[in-house]
Amino acid sequence: MELEEMFATRADRLKASEIRELLKLLDQPDIISFAGGIPDPALFPAKAFQAAFAKALDLQHQAKALQYSVSEGYLPLREWLAAHMAGISVPCDVDNILITSGSQQALDYLGKLMLSPGDTALVNWPTYLGALAAFTAYEPRFDRLDLGANHSVSEYGERAEAEGGRVKFAYLSADFSNPTGETVDATGRERLLDMAEALDCAIIEDGAYQALRYDGEAIAPILAIELARTGDLEACRTIYCGSFSKTLSPGLRVGWIVAAKPVISKLVLMKQAADLHSPTINQMAIHGVAERHFDTHVATLCAAYSARRDAMLAALADHMPEGVEWTRPEGGMFIWITLPKGMDGADLLDRAIRDQRVAFVPGGAFFADGSGANTIRLSFSNSDETAIAEGVSRLGAVLRRALSD
């Protein structure tokens, strides 16, 4: 018996994450890696977590920490999150919040909830690779979300209907996006809300990097802008996904969704069917650290990552050959590089690892149509300024040699 013959048709759409596969090859001390968009473990609030886990396992709390719990999530954490969301102009009730196992699980649930085969998801070109992977399992088609385009909004709907479905949502990370580091301005956010209203579709706002702003004025989340329009979260079409992975700890896998209560109610049923609930002890630990240290720890991260971003931008200016362009993010973890036409980021990676022991992520994986071969993503979060200067210098040498061949 060949079990592969029993697989559902959607299994053919599943592909390995290029980033996950690449990280397996980079656990070598002589490689300078700008590949993984991961926090610096030296900056984890480890002592705070030691205290939080100790409290969760003391005689008063251990029964709750080690027991089954409700699918919605640990109530004190949801109460903290309600206050946190109010602080970014999204007042909500605990019943508007679902705790997930990282925001990646949130994206998977939302794809499952909203996409039927043949429906359309609007995404940026490029967009977060994990979102493409999460949505692809539910057999959609992808269309390019371009807030600066001149074509009419109705064209999105017409293309979706021609493929036998409809536009179900627009997905984007509005602040310091993965992979480009770019931010959607207030006008773009307003335009997106207008588009979604015209198409009668949802918006999935990925706020994974929202707290990591280093320069400029903060822009209200899309959900906050819509809430100001409607005056009622229950009337909002925007679904906000948050995460502690980039601020406190990625390993504990704690994220959250904020949305109208009918959306949360359906997602709770999915949570019950999938994993019952996210680990209670992890939620308790995150809550213990967040309520005491979140703001001060984020300030520490912003100071460190801002200096690393500046070091990478300076090194790029010093070492990149003519014809190479890059973004200048106001926050987050990424800088997006556009290479001269005709260059291939995947080929460049092979050469960079072989000749100079420096790594990055080729950009093509972030495009729903597989384009963008002449792009690459650099992450500055997990390297100090000395390593950044050396790594970018090595990358510049690889590029100059490739251009001369």
Query: What pLDDT shows up at residue 29?
Result: 81
Name the amino acid, one letter, at 196. Answer: A
Helix (H) or strand (E) holding 358: strand 358-359
> What per-residue confidence (pLDDT) applies to 195?
96
How far from each other are the two terminal CA atoms of the chain, in whole angstroms? 51
Q: How many CB atoms lie within 10 A of CB 64?
A: 13
The pLDDT, as a whole number, for residue 151 is: 73
pLDDT at 26: 60
What local confidence, expressed as pLDDT, does residue 334 receive? 98
Pairing of strands 120-123, 167-172: parallel
* Ramachandran category for residue 251: left, alpha or beta (phi over 0 → left; psi -120 to 50 → alpha): alpha
Distance CA 243, CA 121 (A): 22
Tokens of 81: 């999150």
Distance CA 212, CA 377 (A): 18
* Token digits of residue 101: 């196992």
User: What is the C-alpha to C-alpha distance for residues 94 and 97, in angstroms, rounded to an integer?
Assistant: 5
Q: CA torsion angle for 283, 205, 264, 285 (degrees, to 10)?
A: 0
The two structure tokens encoding residue 269: 């049923």
Q: In what order do the strands lie in the sheet with 334-338?
A: 325-326, 334-338, 375-379, 361-362
CB 374 within 8 A of CB 403: no
CA distance 378 to 180: 9
* Amino acid identity for residue 330 in this structure: E
Distance CA 357, CA 352 (A): 6
The pLDDT value given to residue 242: 98
Contact 123, 368 (CB under 8 A): yes
- At 13 the three-state DSSP class reads helix
Q: Do residues 124 and 369 touch, judged by C-beta distance below 8 A?
A: no
Give, for 170, the enclosing helix (H) or strand (E): strand 167-172
One pLDDT digit (tens) per residue for the chain, 405 residues: 588 888 888 887 777 766 666 666 666 788 999 998 899 999 999 999 999 999 999 999 999 999 999 999 999 999 999 999 999 999 999 999 999 999 999 999 999 999 999 999 999 999 999 999 999 999 999 999 999 877 789 999 999 999 999 999 999 999 999 999 999 999 999 999 999 999 999 999 999 999 999 999 999 999 999 999 999 999 999 999 999 999 999 999 999 999 999 999 999 999 999 999 999 999 999 999 999 999 999 999 999 999 999 999 999 999 999 999 999 999 999 999 999 999 999 999 999 999 999 999 999 999 999 999 999 999 999 999 999 999 999 999 999 999 988
Candidates 320, 337, 327; CA nearest to 396 is 320
Tokens standing for residue 170: 């627009």
CB contact burial 305-329 (16+ within 10 A = b; e otherwise): bbebbebbbebbeebbeeebebbeb
